[in-house]
């Protein structure tokens, strides 16, 4: 009978692990209706600890996947397939493929940015904040507070991060996230002021302008990442101009005036001194909705709007005598209910057919 070495894994390990991984997710639940008030509070505290432990386990799994995805096969800089200049991807994890965040996003069924942030946070736990990760795994520190420490300390030297961590971790769970952030920044300034400046420069480098769907019907939210003094100056300018409109008799709410002022400052319809630019609007709606037989919502560049808004927009464009702009294009596409493209045409062709 052959002997099995002490450090050799059991022959059934792979099959057993496959069964465990393939199992349906389970949550230990208690009959809430039978619990006393004190028991419900205790169970909620237990759930918070489980959530923290799960976050630590998630980080461990992400790092395991990252370790299984080295950058050996990534295109070298200057070779075909490698992005260049400002289009080059930001460095993610040392030694890990640049495509890992995209692969992780597929696994998690989330956006690439969300996956990238999760991977970077897990990396910081392992490299710079091991005590935070351990507290998370034990369920004594929640993920919200752990994220605060990551946010403050991720750009500093790992040795410095651990030094600051050691000063905070003992009481971190008892502080609010706001207090923890203030004390973490103060502790970091005391030992490494350069790291704070590096965080500010990194934040400025990551600045962008984004648009999000708003919970208010037919509205969207436009945001811009700006240095705090610039953001304050921009808002003050918008506010002062809105106040002037109010003083001139405009009875619209001040918030609506601020939004209108901002839109005018960006689009500058009165300014003919700059090179013209063309905007691309993708309007999506069902024919039945446009004809008034359905109330199904439409879309503008992927943002949902009411069908009434879409009809108004189309009426405005038609009243303007919209034509193909110089350097731009106008096209119409017919798709089925599943989004499959069936036909395309230009606005001029459609008008001739009509």
Structure confidence by residue, pLDDT tens digits, 291-339: 667 666 677 776 666 667 666 766 665 654 555 555 556 666 666 666 6
Domain that holds residue 339: 283-353
Better-scored residue on pLDDT, 275 or 143: 143
Q: Which of 223, 216, 219 is nearest to 303 (CA)?
A: 219
> How far, rounded to the nearest angstrom, does the alpha carbon of residue 31 sit from its chain's CA centroid?
36
- 41 and 137 in a single domain? The answer is yes
- 105 and 167 in a single domain? The answer is yes
Long-range contacts of 232-239 (CB under 8 A, 24+ apart): 238/262, 238/265
- 58 and 44 in a single domain? The answer is yes
- 201 and 294 in a single domain? The answer is no
CA separation for the pair 122, 60 (Å, rounded): 7
- 115 and 258 in a single domain? The answer is no
Q: Which of 120, 140, 144 is nearest to 59 (CA)?
A: 120
- 256 and 288 in a single domain? The answer is no
pTM of the predicted structure, to 2 decimals: 0.60
In a domain, 38, yes or no: yes
- 292 and 342 in a single domain? The answer is yes
CA separation for the pair 276, 258 (Å, rounded): 25
Q: Which of 297, 301, 259 is nearest to 282 (CA)?
A: 301
Write the pLDDT tens digit of every residue in 218-268.
788 999 998 877 888 899 999 999 999 999 999 999 999 999 999 989 887
CA separation for the pair 278, 272 (Å, rounded): 14
Cβ neighbours, 10 Å, residue 122: 24
- 289 and 259 in a single domain? The answer is no
Task: State how many domains the chain has.
Answer: 3
> Cα dihedral angle (342, 344, 349, 352), rounded to 10 degrees?
20
Residue 224, CA atoms < 13 Å, CB-side half-sphere: 10
> What pLDDT, on a 0 to 100 scale, did the predictor assign at position 189?
84
> What pLDDT, on a 0 to 100 scale, did the predictor assign at position 331?
65
> What pLDDT, on a 0 to 100 scale, did the predictor assign at position 81?
56
Better-scored residue on pLDDT, 171 or 85: 171
- 112 and 183 in a single domain? The answer is yes
Give CA angle at 212 (209, 217), nearest 5°.
140
């Amino acid at each position: 009978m052959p002997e099995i070495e002490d450090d050799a894994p059991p022959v059934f390990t792979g099959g057993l692990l496959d069964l465990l991984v393939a199992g349906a997710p389970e949550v230990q639940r208690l009959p809430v209706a039978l619990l006393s008030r004190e028991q419900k509070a205790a169970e909620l505290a237990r759930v918070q600890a489980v959530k923290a432990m799960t976050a630590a386990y998630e980080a461990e799994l992400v790092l395991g996947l990252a370790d299984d995805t080295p950058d050996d096969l990534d295109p070298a800089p200057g070779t075909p397939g490698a992005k260049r200049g400002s289009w080059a991807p930001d460095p993610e994890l040392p030694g890990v493929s640049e495509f890992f965040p995209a692969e992780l996003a597929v696994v998690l069924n989330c956006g690439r940015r969300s996956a990238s942030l999760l991977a970077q946070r897990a990396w910081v736990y392992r490299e710079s904040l091991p005590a935070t990760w351990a507290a998370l795994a034990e369920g004594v520190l929640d993920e919200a507070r752990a994220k605060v420490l990551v946010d403050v300390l991720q750009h500093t030297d790992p040795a410095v991060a651990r030094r600051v961590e050691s000063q905070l971790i003992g009481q971190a769970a008892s502080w609010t996230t706001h207090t923890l952030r203030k004390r973490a920044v103060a502790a970091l300034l005391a030992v490494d002021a350069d790291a704070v400046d590096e965080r500010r420069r990194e934040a400025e480098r990551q600045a962008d302008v984004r648009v999000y769907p708003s919970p208010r019907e037919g509205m969207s939210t436009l945001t811009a990442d700006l240095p705090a003094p610039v953001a304050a100056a921009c808002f003050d300018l918008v506010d002062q101009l809105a106040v002037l409109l109010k003083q001139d008799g405009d009875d619209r709410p001040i918030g609506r005036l601020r939004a209108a002022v901002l839109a005018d400052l960006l689009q500058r319809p009165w300014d003919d001194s700059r090179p013209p630019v063309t905007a691309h609007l993708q309007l999506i709606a069902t024919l039945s909705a446009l004809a008034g037989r359905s109330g199904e919502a439409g879309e503008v560049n992927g943002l949902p709007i009411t069908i009434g808004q879409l009809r108004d927009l189309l009426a405005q464009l038609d009243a303007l005598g919209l034509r193909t702009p110089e350097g731009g294009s106008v096209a119409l596409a017919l798709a089925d209910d599943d989004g499959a493209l069936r036909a395309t045409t230009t606005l001029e062709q459609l008008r001739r057919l009509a």
